[in-house]
Amino acid sequence: MSKTADILLKAAGIITAVSAAAGAAAFIQERIAEKKHPEKKSPHHQGPYEKYVKRPLDATLSMGALITFSPILAATAILVKKNLGSPVLFVQIRPGKDEKLFRLYKFRTMTDERDEEGELLPDEDRLTDFGKKLRSTSLDELPELLNIIKGDMAVVGPRPLLVRDMVFMSDKQRLRHKVRPGLSGLAQVSGRNEIPWEYKLEFDIKYTDDITYLGDVKLIIATIENVIKKRNIVREGTASDMDYCDWLLEKGKVTKIEYEKKLAKAEDVFRMR
């Protein structure tokens, strides 16, 4: 065995050990927090896999993936910097498990062009050809591995939506927040942006009702197949998927007055964080 191969094997062993330790530490911290603050424990029923295996496994897999794909991450960052400038990362506040807000990390795919009044231009005007290609490969999602390692997200779960979308959801639809949001989920492999919003949220609830190891593996495999075949990237006829609240307004499911009141409520959520 060459010295280089020996070094790589040792490095792989260290990465695996560190990843496993990180996952175990995250799991222990979560159990301690539950004991210290039982009132904050989610009423969502967790099976053995979800309670004892999913979080450590997510941290381990994500740590390994982050290191394995580091050359791709670096190359993508350079391309984003060249084509879109700084900052390279797009950071946005999203609701996570139990509606706790966190910072979501993605590679930028749009410019920051604004109109004469200082308002951002519509997505279709800011989404460049480079950004479209980045989204089609799903490379823009890779920085979310950091969110998974931190514990904000899981590998599989309902996709993290906007705070402004959350306040428009019914009590039943908001049950999707009883689990960590995921890098990919049941709704994404079932049509992603090509299916109506109400069905996407139904898929999210369906996932939270039956979280299993085998189910997660199947969803990961289906996600990889979608990425390779570039399926279900953007809803046909739109530059970007329409936000849930905007979709409700466009479909006449909420009035303009209700829409404005809910948006004001979303702003209150930000101020209270």
pLDDT at 20: 56
pLDDT at 115: 79
Average pLDDT estimate for 185-208: 86
Average pLDDT estimate for 35-42: 60
* CA–CA gap between residue 20 and residue 9 (Å, rounded): 16
* CA–CA gap between residue 184 and residue 197 (Å, rounded): 16
Where do the DSSP E strands lie in 121-220? 154-156, 182-184
Mean predicted lDDT score pLDDT of the chain: 84
* CA–CA gap between residue 87 and residue 150 (Å, rounded): 21
* CA–CA gap between residue 16 and residue 68 (Å, rounded): 11
Q: Which is higher by pLDDT, 99 or 227?
A: 99
- For residues 147 and 104, the answer to whether their CB atoms sit within 8 Å is yes
pLDDT at 29: 66
Q: Which is higher by pLDDT, 162 or 114?
A: 162
Report the range of poorest mean pLDDT among 80-84, 194-198, 203-207.
194-198
pLDDT at 237: 39
Is the pLDDT reported for residue 223 higher than 80?
Answer: yes
Is the pLDDT reported for residue 230 higher than 80?
Answer: no
Report the range of poorest mean pLDDT among 21-25, 134-138, 212-216.
21-25
The two tokens of residue 61 are 């897999």
Closest to 189 in 3D by CA, of 216, 226, 162: 226
Report the range of poorest mean pLDDT among 39-53, 214-228, 241-255.
39-53
pLDDT at 270: 78
* Per-residue pLDDT band at 34 (split at 50, 70, 90): low
- For residues 190 and 223, the answer to whether their CB atoms sit within 8 Å is no
Q: Which is higher by pLDDT, 7 or 60?
A: 60
* CA–CA gap between residue 225 and residue 143 (Å, rounded): 20
What's phi and psi for 118, nearest 5 deg? 85, 5
The three-state secondary structure class of 160 is: coil
- For residues 78 and 41, the answer to whether their CB atoms sit within 8 Å is no
Helix-strand-coil split of the chain, %, nearest 5: 60, 10, 30
Q: Which is higher by pLDDT, 119 or 165?
A: 165
* CA–CA gap between residue 225 and residue 28 (Å, rounded): 34
* CA–CA gap between residue 186 and residue 192 (Å, rounded): 9
Query: Rounded to two decimals, what is the model's pTM?
Result: 0.81
- For residues 76 and 142, the answer to whether their CB atoms sit within 8 Å is yes
Average pLDDT estimate for 22-41: 62
Average pLDDT estimate for 214-229: 91
pLDDT at 145: 95
The dihedral through the CA atoms of 243, 91, 265, 44 has a sign that is positive
